[in-house]
Amino acid sequence: FDDGMGIDVAIIEVGIGGRFDATNLLDTYAACCIATLDLDHTNLLGDTLEKIAWEKGGIIKGSCGPAFTVDCNTVSSIDVLRCCADDVAAPFNVIAVGSRVKLGEWTLGLKGDHQVINAELALSLCEAFMNRHEVLKGKKSINSSDRIDSLIKYAFENTSWPGRCQFIRPSRYQDYIHIYLDGAHTLESVSCCLNWFIANSGSEKYRENMLRSRKILIFNCGHERNPVDMLKHIILARQNEDESLFDDIYFCCAKSARPSAMPKPTVHSILEEAGMINAASTCHEEKLKSSWQETLAELWRYLDRVFPCKRTSCLHAGVSIEEVFDILHRETVDSNVPADVCVMGSLYLAGSVLQVLEWNEENATGRISR
């Protein structure tokens, strides 16, 4: 900061992986953690959780503070992380999720049941930092029980993270459109987002009268990843055996994206990679040069045939985000039925939706208010 106050605490998040990430040039820390592992950036980090754990475990250093992970990771990936810690003689701790931060007893500003995992890690990191800080000043270390106080609970309650399980009720849409937005872009995070959306969507008025508000999905993901598992998971998240969860699905292009040298795959190549080679015969030649959003829609149509239900979603591809909200506003006002809109698949998509909604943080000055 340029205000002469300096930095008391720096929280460094790796870019991709960890072992060979630029942030790993730092040679000391008070504590480090590896959160829930998921299959992401597999072309760089490896195609198994164990390989990814080895990449993540590269941030663990000896002669520094302790390393933490959570017990919801697989046993084999935790073993890999433990080996990484043993190699450099670093303290390694596996945190039991729910051991201290319990749903119902704690209020978390970040929504979604999965945030309990992150809260447990955050609590352990804070304690490790404070212990190091106190010891360096010649004081005794702090017991864990001493750190669970009103200040920590206040911090958890007031933490916000735009683009992660973010609920928005734009005033411009006269309370007809409720937006549930998350940058989920892996199978595990998509599952968490869906659970949060299903548990919280639906206006009180419609719940009380046993009426169903319209459910809308806005989806996009980077073409570097295979979207089949994510789309399949969304398709199978149904209201019941006969009805798709979403009435309409819009495959929209984000307003910005990370540059990529990888060519956009075809429906044929995606299904082949996913082990659905028989699907190749269902893809017409003229559709192989479609836009990425049309490719996603075609993949959905195929999966819809594999996992059929009586009432399927209506698909839309090539529609801009602005057009989607114009359409939804007009339709909800005309029908007097509100729409619950779930946005997921990409952080770039989440940011684009926030941009279209002209959403701004109330306090984005870069320093915590005192």
Q: What is the CATH number of domain 22-158?
A: 3.40.1190.10
pLDDT confidence bin for 361, thresholds 50/70/90 = confident
Give pTM, 2 decimals: 0.82
Most confident listed range (145-154, 197-206, 339-348): 339-348
Q: Where in the chain is the domain with CATH 3.90.190.20?
A: 166-356
| Rounded distance between C-alpha atoms, residue 170 and residue 242, angstroms | 32
Residue with the larger pLDDT of the pair 204 and 97: 97
Give the residue among 120, 157, 158 at the shortest CA–CA distance from 34: 120
Q: Are 33 and 69 in contact (CB under 8 A)?
A: yes
Q: Where in the chain is the domain with CATH 3.40.1190.10?
A: 22-158
Please give the angle made by the CA atoms of 55, 348 and 116, to the nearest 5 degrees.
60
pLDDT confidence bin for 211, thresholds 50/70/90 = low
- pLDDT score at 141: 54
Give the residue among 38, 321, 346 at the shortest CA–CA distance from 221: 346
Instruction: Output the CA torsion sign for 333, 338, 344, 348.
Output: positive
User: Percent of the chain at pLDDT above 70?
Assistant: 86
Architecture label for domain 166-356: Alpha-Beta Complex (3.90)
Most confident listed range (196-205, 241-250, 283-292): 241-250
Q: Are 206 and 274 in contact (CB under 8 A)?
A: no
Q: Distance of alpha carbon 4 from its chain centroid, rounded?
A: 35
